[in-house]
Amino acid sequence: MMINRMFYKNRAKMNLKGKWLIAALVALVFLIANGQKVFRFNFGSNTAGTQNVGDQMTNQLMGIVPHSGVVTFIKDNVSLFLPIVLIGILAGIAFQIFVMNPLSVGPYQYFRKNDLGEETIDMNDLLWVFRSKYYLNIVKTMFLMNLKILLWTLLFIIPGVIKAYEYSMIPFLLSRNKNMTSAEAFSASKLLTEGNKADLFVLDLSFIGWYLLGSIPFGLGTPFVKAYEFQTLSGIFNDWVGDTEPDFRS
């Protein structure tokens, strides 16, 4: 069934009335957790000047370093620096898997509950994953989701995009059914998005204009647009789940 974009967008705006600020903060957490650059400060001609100074300093350093013995020292001590670099990379990956990925699931619960009109929602909904006894299950599922999307994207871009939409309901499902296994989450998301992936793609396209507008004042409007998009998707998810198998319900 085709997604009625206007209906769900209007519903989202009604649900966000009087809550735009906190919703934007929740969306900001999601953007940060996903490593997206939100705010862009550009001070006109000063930026160009700063870049020129930076280029000059870089050129000077490139001229100095080769004669300073630093490069030689690093080359002679690769065995010392390599473990440090590897540890840093592994620590970054672990931080993304065990902290940032679970943190990105929190906003899904906030907006899903807000669409349902629940009165108990607050910023604590962002951290529920870390207090949940199903934390490791959620970590595993989110890791597998991101890994599969990455592998499909590396294979071919278009299949990667298709799989991203196929798995797009997994965080919503995890926020609703905390004990849902990875296999169940993938299966349920596939069922929910069956025949709807093109509509979800068009829905995303419909927000591009808003994102462009939100990026103009240094990107300050981006979290508000993300909140709008999140709330719209939450309404769609809640309606889909309410009309499908009882196993998808809390």
Structure confidence at residue 36 (pLDDT): 67
Average pLDDT, rounded, for the chain: 84
pLDDT at 39 over 60: no
Type of residue at 110: Y
Structure confidence at residue 40 (pLDDT): 54
Structure confidence at residue 61 (pLDDT): 45
Query: Over the chain, what HEC string results?
Result: CCCCHHHHHHHHHHHHCCCHHHHHHHHHHHHHHCCCCCCCCCCCHHHHHHHHHHHHHHHHHHHHHHHHCHHHHHHHCHHHHHHHHHHHHHHHHHHHHHHHHHHHHHHHHHHHHHHCCCCCCCHHHHCHHHHCCCHHHHHHHHHHHHHHHHHHHHHCHHHHHHHHHHCCCHHHHHHHCCCCCHHHHHHHHHHHHCCCHHHHHHHHHCCHHHHHHHHCCCCCCHHHHHHHHHHHHHHHHHHHHHCCCHHHCC
pLDDT digits (tens, 9 = 90+) for 81-128: 788 889 999 999 999 999 999 999 999 999 999 999 987 766 677 888
Task: Please tell me the distance from the alpha carbon of residue 229 to that of residue 221, in angstroms, as a whole number.
Answer: 13
pLDDT digits (tens, 9 = 90+) for 121-171: 666 778 889 999 999 999 999 999 999 999 999 988 899 999 999 999 999
Structure confidence at residue 46 (pLDDT): 43
Type of residue at 92: G
Structure confidence at residue 135 (pLDDT): 96
Q: Kindly state the tokens that stand for 36.
A: 């997206």
Nearest CA to 200 out of 26, 11, 4 is that of 4
Q: Kindly state the tokens that stand for 136.
A: 């490791």
Task: Please tell me the distance from the alpha carbon of residue 141 to that of residue 136, in angstroms, as a whole number.
Answer: 9
Structure confidence at residue 85 (pLDDT): 86
Provide the pLDDT confidence category of residue 45 given band limits of 50, 70 and 90: very low
Q: Kindly state the tokens that stand for 239.
A: 């309606």
Helices 222-242/208-215 angle, 10° precision: 150
pLDDT: is 102 or 64 the higher one?
102
pLDDT at 51 over 80: no
- The domain total for the chain is 1
pLDDT at 183 over 80: yes
Structural domain containing residue 82: 5-248
Percent of the chain with pLDDT over 70: 78
pLDDT at 224 over 50: yes
Distances (CA, A) of 80 to 71, 85, 92, 103: 14, 9, 19, 34
**Cβ(207)–Cβ(215) below 8 Å:** no
pLDDT at 211 over 60: yes
Sequence-ordered list of residues with C-beta below 8 angstroms from that of 207, at least 6 positions apart, any chain: 225, 228, 229
pLDDT: is 41 or 3 the higher one?
3
